[in-house]
Structure 1
């Protein structure tokens, strides 16, 4: 299986239904209390690519994309319109949006990440597929120049600094990103008549670990 560094047409993913899922194992004890555990450190996202289809031309575009990925065989990028920025959906990414690491004077490579906070709890999500040209980086609030002071690998989400950040310095970043996914079916069924009547095919898409 390969990963194709190509994004599913964003105009077709717009309006799609989906989001994160978790896996929780629950055991109910004899006294009625529960023990809950999860084997997953990170959530996994699922979407329906069929919901965004609006015309027969969209169906043709979907089929071409599906065939080029050989169904479930190859992964690709997906724009999650409800969560594709380091900041709030209606804001513009800034270099101080997300804390991605603390300098130690030696390390030059840092993984992009996004932190979700609710109350006293938080979840740190690794960002593996940033959108090229959107990544802004700062050290202690001082914005750095891409290509001169740092580089970004859009295939892994790793930032590499020319010189290691000083000990104790805060490294922050702002960015847009995609989700690595694959089709969750090897068959797409469409009907010209039913599509014109308002019915659209179900095309499940699922996040993959890379």
Structure 2
């Protein structure tokens, strides 16, 4: 098993159905009250790649991609068109989008993450697959520049600064990102006649833990 650092064709993922999944264990007590617990610290995303197919050429591209990944065997990158940026959908990426750490005078490596907030509650999602060339970083509100001031491991989402930030200096970042996924099936069943009639195959995709 390996992870292929290649993105599923974006024009095929556009229009796909999917999003985050949580797992909640619910126990109903004898008095009718509930106890709820989640064994997952992070959500897991699922998609259906079949919905985005619009032509026989799209179908051929999907099959070629599926065969090159050997079905479920190898992972790949997926663009979630509903959530692929550190900034709100209506805004461009900026170096101040997300706080990823604070300086301590020693640490130079920081992991990318995205904060989801609603009311007083929030969730911080690790970002493992930033899109090459899109990462912007700022230290203490001063923009840094890739290759000059920092480097990015685009396979793990780690930013490494050339100089350790001063104590308490905020480190922020903006970026686009992909989701690490694999096919959740070893079989694609398609009929050309039914596809031309508007029936698309189901091609489940699931996020992989890394």
Q: TM-score, normalised by structure 2?
A: 0.99
Aligned length: 210
Counting only pairs closer than 5 Å after superposition, residues 39-58 of structure 1 correspond to structure 2 as 39-58=39-58
Distance 1:113 1:173 in 2: 9
Deviation at 1:91, TM superposition (A): 1.1
- SS, match of residue 50 in structure 1: helix
Counting only pairs closer than 5 Å after superposition, residues 122-201 of structure 1 correspond to structure 2 as 122-201=122-201
Distance 1:173 1:163 in 2: 16
Where structure 1 has 5 or more consecutive residues not aligned to the other structure, the ranges are: none
2:10 matches 1:10: yes
Distance 2:112 2:191 in 1: 42
Deviation at 1:88, TM superposition (A): 0.6
Per-residue displacement from partner, 1:108-144 (whole Å, max 9, x unpaired)? Answer: 1000000000000000000000000000000111000
Moved over 4 A (4+): none
2:79 alignment counterpart: 79
Distance 1:14 1:162 in 2: 37
Where structure 2 has 5 or more consecutive residues not aligned to the other structure, the ranges are: none
2:117 matches 1:117: yes
Distance 2:15 2:187 in 1: 22
Deviation at 1:148, TM superposition (A): 1.0
Distance 1:40 1:23 in 2: 7
Deviation at 1:10, TM superposition (A): 0.1
Deviation at 1:90, TM superposition (A): 2.0
2:203 alignment counterpart: 203
Distance 1:17 1:91 in 2: 23
Distance 1:131 1:3 in 2: 15
